């Protein structure tokens, strides 16, 4: 995670003495919450080849039976060639064969059947696969994917392709990349994708060839299991912790989701609930649960993947299209680090939302920020870097928070008037500067002109050009 620095200013207007204090946007925790359930009540009042263009199918590997990992790689190689029938030999038990589902592992396979035989007492089995593929117009891939027949040449392309499989919660998949053995050994999927709990990479290459065939086997955090439970409408098969998180998820969603709410209102309700009830954890305070929706929804503390998975699940239960986005923080004030946030569809348009970075630290009680509420691709790229390119482009600013509430200021004078009006009414305000630098706003001169004793604190988000002001109690 990374640290964000914001400026706090306390201004007694009569004396005109300015006390400046720097605070870290993500640092210490506030006391653990006694009951999240009570908080629920409290806070919610490439074209596919065909015909003669198909490469000649390679023969099944000879010279020994395949291990299970090699078998998956061999299946993947035949699928890349769109072979509809092929036979291989493998060291695999009958139970492992029964559990093998090609269509679940390889999304362009519509149907699959496996017949097998083995000599009595032999460990080797001969397996014959019969596959049916989706037609090109049936297989609706939302991503601009690398052609499965092509070799991946860069680290960025490899991470993007891994990410596309992780977004679908695929547990085993095979890729071909021009990568050295040392580079494979140094590649740890967990370092880049916070939803992955464990990862294993098996690879093989023809001697002297720069290309390697990599088979990834992943174990996901509890998020994937809870997402499946939401889809099935049942907690069957969940562990005790997973079931507890699932039940809390349903309770929170039910409390938040009121009849007649718009998609934007549902999104904001879930965003505000998490900001107000979850404390950000970092450093030595982090444990495995902070990376899960259990940490966010049940224990009340999390890091970015805890926030983002909890928000994703709430949106799923509340009927809003939403997905996880994996990437890196890209701030001038901190070193880069792995990060996760969300992409959401509101009224037919896509936006980025980062609940984690809208949660102030030190904690400001019920105060909520909206610096990262419904951003465009261009805006989020100022301090976030996506690992996986998406065809779901975020270009609209219509549902950006500052557009919706009307505090998008187009000049310094307009911004100063917004501040004066809000403070005169006894309220704080949040202003996004459009066309000028937010630091050009002289807050002290605004307070002097008001002729009123008031103390405030404020923070400035420079990448997003946003000023947040609170009345100090």
For the domain that residue 381 is a member of, what is the CATH number? Answer: 3.10.620
Output the pLDDT for position 379. 96
Same domain, 168 and 251: no
Q: Where is the domain boundary, 220, 250, 285? A: 220
> Which of 404, 421, 441 is at the close of a domain?
404
The last residue of a domain, from among 357, 388, 404: 404
pLDDT at residue 331, rounded to an integer: 65
| Residue 440 within a domain | yes
Q: Are strands 408-409 and 429-433 parallel, antiparallel or unpaired?
A: parallel
CA-based angle 419:263:316, to the nearest 5?
125
Grouping H, G, I as helix, E, B as strand and the rest as coil, residue 469 is: strand
pLDDT at 150: 74
Q: Are residues 383 and 430 in the same domain?
A: no
Tell whether pTM > 0.85.
Answer: no
What is residue 342's predicted lDDT score, i.e. its pLDDT?
A: 96
106, 72 Cβ separation under 8 angstroms:
no
**Residue 78 lies inside a defined structural domain of this protein:** yes
* 387 shares its domain with 289: yes
Same domain, 373 and 462: no
**Residue 200 covered by a domain:** yes
Domain of residue 278 covers 239-404
pLDDT of 336 reads 63
- Which H or E run includes 313? helix 304-317
Q: Give domain status of residue 228, yes or no.
A: no
Residues 331 and 372 placed together within one structural domain of the fold: yes
Query: In degrees rounded to 5, what are phi and psi of residue 235?
Result: -90, 5
SS3 13: coil
- Which tokens in the block code for residue 309? 């998975």
Q: Is residue 50 part of a domain?
A: no
**Domain co-membership, 367 together with 258:** yes
Residue 19, pLDDT score:
29
Q: Are residues 283 and 177 in the same domain?
A: no
Low-confidence ranges of the chain (pLDDT < 70): 1-64, 135-149, 282-286, 331-336, 362-365, 473
pLDDT of residue 113: 87
| Per-residue CA distances from 395 to 344, 349, 398, 408 (Å) | 12, 8, 9, 17
**Number of domains into which the chain is organized:** 4
What is the predicted pLDDT for the residue at 334? 52
Q: Distance between CA atoms of 322 and 436, rounded to whole angstroms?
A: 32
């Amino acid at each position: 995670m990374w640290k964000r620095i914001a400026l706090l200013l306390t201004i007694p207007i009569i004396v005109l003495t300015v006390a400046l204090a720097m605070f870290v946007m993500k640092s210490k925790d506030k006391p653990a919450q006694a009951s999240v359930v009570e908080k629920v009540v409290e806070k919610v009042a490439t074209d596919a080849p065909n015909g003669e263009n198909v490469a000649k199918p390679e023969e099944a590997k000879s010279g020994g039976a395949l291990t299970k990992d090699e078998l998956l790689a061999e299946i993947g190689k035949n699928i890349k060639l769109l072979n509809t029938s092929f036979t291989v030999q493998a060291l695999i038990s009958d139970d492992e064969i029964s559990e093998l589902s090609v269509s679940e592992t390889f999304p362009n396979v519509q149907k699959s059947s496996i017949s097998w035989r083995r000599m009595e007492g032999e460990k080797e089995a001969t397996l014959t696969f019969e596959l049916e593929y989706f037609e090109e117009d049936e297989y609706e891939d939302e991503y601009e994917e690398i052609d499965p027949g092509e070799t991946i040449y860069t680290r960025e392309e490899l991470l993007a392709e891994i990410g596309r499989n992780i977004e679908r919660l695929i547990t085993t998949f095979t890729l071909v990349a021009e990568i050295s053995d040392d580079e494979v050994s140094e590649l740890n999927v967990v370092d880049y994708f916070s939803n992955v709990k464990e990862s294993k990479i098996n690879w093989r290459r023809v001697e002297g060839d720069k290309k390697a065939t990599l088979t990834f086997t992943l174990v996901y955090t509890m998020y994937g299991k809870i997402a499946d439970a939401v889809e099935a409408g049942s907690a069957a098969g969940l562990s005790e912790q997973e079931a507890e998180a699932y039940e809390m998820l349903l309770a929170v969603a039910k409390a938040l989701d009121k009849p007649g709410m718009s998609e934007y209102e549902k999104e904001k309700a879930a965003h505000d609930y998490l900001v107000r009830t979850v404390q950000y954890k970092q450093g030595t305070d982090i444990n495995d649960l902070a990376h899960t929706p259990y940490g966010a929804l049940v224990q009340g503390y999390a890091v970015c993947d805890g926030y983002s998975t909890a928000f994703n699940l709430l949106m799923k239960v509340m009927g809003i299209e939403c997905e996880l986005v994996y990437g890196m923080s890209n701030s001038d004030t901190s070193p880069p680090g792995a990060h996760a946030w969300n992409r959401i569809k509101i009224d037919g348009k896509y936006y980025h939302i980062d609940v984690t970075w809208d949660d102030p630290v030190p904690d400001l009680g019920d105060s909520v920020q909206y610096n990262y509420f419904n951003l465009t691709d261009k805006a989020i790229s100022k301090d976030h870097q996506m690992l996986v390119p998406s065809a779901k482009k975020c270009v609209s600013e219509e549902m950006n928070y500052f557009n919706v509430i009307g505090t998008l200021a187009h000049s310094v004078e307009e911004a100063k008037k917004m501040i004066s009006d809000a403070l005169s009414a006894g309220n704080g305000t949040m202003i996004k500067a459009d066309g000028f630098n937010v630091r050009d706003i002289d807050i002290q001169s605004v307070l002097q002109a008001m002729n009123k004793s008031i103390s405030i604190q404020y923070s400035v988000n420079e990448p997003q050009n946003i000023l947040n002001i609170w009345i100090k109690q």
